[in-house]
Amino acid sequence: MYSDDRVLVAYVPRPADFNLIETQSWYRIPQKTAPKGLHAEYIAFYFGRRFGEKKWAVHYFAENLGHELVRRIDLIPNEPDHPRAEEPYYKVQLGPLKSLERPIISLQWRRILFVHTTWDRFAAAAEMNDLLLEGDSLVDREFVALRENQAPNYRIADSVAKYSW
């Protein structure tokens, strides 16, 4: 695990959904609502209200081993009459599930579908706000390195034009 590895925190609404993660090592995301961060190195799981005492927190994560596009009916064949049975979903293949020593909690209820963060933030987080990326040095590593080293052979203006000193 590297500090700048990407982590996608993903919502798990029901214990039955988490059971699929635990027993079959995959997580599903509807294609029409999929985040741009499907290429994150790790996927972490934020539990919804149906998880009792574990609700509104991240307790587990797993390595992202890749994804494929399949119909929902192919993922969950015992729900053939589901309204989205024929819709495409990303099936994200997962490595072994790992438990956090200390869950990352939400201090207030919030609707979270996906949160993009970095491994260093994820590893240090105590609560959900600690995961949020706001363009500081933990996120904009290239910019900080270029600024600190004054990158003599690198055209900063071309590469990081959105920033100004």
Which domain does 65 fall in, by range?
6-132
**Same structural domain for residues 161 and 104?**
no
**Same structural domain for residues 29 and 99?**
yes
Structure confidence at residue 124 as a pLDDT band (50, 70, 90): very high
**Which residues does 74 contact at the CB level (< 8 Å), separation at least 6?**
none
Query: CA 74, CA 68: separation in Å to the nearest integer?
Result: 12
**Same structural domain for residues 127 and 109?**
yes
By percentage, how much of the chain surpasses pLDDT 70? Answer: 79
Please determine, for residue 98, whether its predicted confidence score (pLDDT) is greater than 50. Answer: yes
Domain-located, residue 145: yes
Query: CA 144, CA 90: separation in Å to the nearest integer?
Result: 34
pLDDT digits 0-9 by tens, 42-91: 999 999 999 999 999 999 999 999 999 999 999 999 999 999 999 999 99
Number of domains present in the structure of the chain: 2
Domain-located, residue 83: yes
Nearest CA to 131 out of 25, 37, 27 is that of 37
| CATH number of residue 91's parent domain | 2.30.130.30
**Same structural domain for residues 102 and 126?**
yes
CB atoms within 10 A of CB 12: 22
Domain-located, residue 1: no
**Same structural domain for residues 54 and 86?**
yes
